[in-house]
């Protein structure tokens, strides 16, 4: 997997600040910083004609405070992904364009909302960004006694097996952002997760077992969380995204409470 760090909309250039088999960090060379709700970056790599499009998995506070974003890039034959894994080195320079509309960015006076996050495979990336941002909102509320009053967050996350469940607890994170089970343990009354594996062939470790369900995410599990205060975010393969968005619509969830992004 791989990662990145950036700021400001538009086209930016910056050197890679760190890279390992798990992650690469890119830091913007510009000094101006502003809080942005971003979900995607287009990656323009010198000498690579194909533009890479990657989802951001870090929360906006990392961008706001450290001028970084983190990307997780799966190893594939896609030229930008190959470059990140095989050729990218410390201080390699790339250009990025940031944007996207798949995010949760409440204002302090907004009505409290519960969140249900539904992820399939590498679709976890933007949902992890939302989960990390939710945790930052919880910390702010606890420390200051003010700020947005977020409700409960439930993550449903499905992959083929536990080794493909990204960011569960053991992946290296060069930005020191917390991963899924870290956040569940930090906020047990607010954040919960249900991790699903569909083709597990090895024994599941003791630390993960309480969170694992063998089999796909079922419609009834999602329907149990429907309420007028709940927002649903879905990201995964198109068939999965289409299925759950349609199920929610059929259960009379308002379209404005359903947000989805497909990966191909």
- Across the chain, which has 264 residues, the per-10-residue mean pLDDT values are 39 48 44 50 90 87 80 86 84 78 91 97 92 96 96 97 85 67 96 97 93 96 97 96 97 96 72
The whole-number pLDDT of residue 160 equals 96
What distance in Å separates the CA atoms of residue 123 and residue 19, rounded to the nearest whole number? 22
Which run of H or E residues covers position 15? strand 10-19
Report d(CA 226, CA 220) in Å as an integer: 10
Rounded distance, CA 242 to CA 261, Å? 10
Opening angle at CA 18, ends 67 and 155, nearest 5? 65
Identify the sign of the CA torsion 176, 177, 179, 185.
positive
Query: DSSP of 116-169, one letter per residue?
Result: EEEEEGGGHHHHHHHHHHHHHHHHHHHHHS-S-----EEEEEEESSGGG-TTSS
Residue 39: its pLDDT value, please? 76
pLDDT score at 37: 53
pLDDT value of position 40? 82
pLDDT score, position 106: 94
Rounded CA-CA distance 58/64 in Å is 11
d(CA 207, CA 258): 32
What is the reported pLDDT for 5? 36
pLDDT at residue 263 in the model? 67
Single pTM value for the model: 0.86
């Amino acid at each position: 997997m791989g990662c990145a760090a950036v700021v400001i909309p538009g086209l930016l250039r910056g050197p890679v600040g760190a890279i390992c088999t798990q992650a690469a960090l890119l830091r913007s060379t510009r000094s101006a910083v502003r809080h942005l709700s971003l979900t995607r970056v287009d990656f323009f790599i010198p000498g690579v004609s194909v533009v890479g499009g990657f989802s951001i998995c870090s929360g906006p506070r990392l961008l706001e405070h450290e001028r970084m974003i983190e990307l997780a890039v799966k190893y594939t034959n896609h030229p930008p992904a190959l470059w990140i894994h095989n050729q990218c080195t410390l201080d390699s320079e790339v250009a990025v364009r940031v944007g996207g509309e798949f995010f949760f960015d409440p204002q302090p006076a907004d009505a409290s909302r519960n969140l249900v996050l539904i992820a399939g495979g590498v679709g976890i990336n933007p949902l992890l960004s939302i989960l990390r941002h939710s945790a930052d909102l919880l910390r702010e509320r606890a420390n200051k006694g003010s700020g947005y009053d977020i409700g409960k967050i439930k993550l449903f996350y499905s992959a083929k097996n536990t080794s493909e469940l990204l960011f569960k607890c053991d992946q290296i994170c060069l930005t020191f952002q917390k991963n899924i089970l870290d956040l569940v343990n930090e906020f047990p009354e607010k954040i919960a997760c249900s991790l699903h594996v569909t083709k597990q062939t090895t024994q599941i470790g003791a630390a993960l077992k309480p969170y694992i369900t063998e089999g796909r995410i079922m419609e009834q599990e999602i329907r149990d969380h429907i309420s007028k205060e709940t927002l649903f975010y879905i990201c995964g393969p198109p068939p999965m995204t289409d299925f759950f968005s349609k199920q929610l619509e059929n259960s009379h969830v308002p379209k404005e409470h359903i947000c989805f992004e497909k990966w191909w």
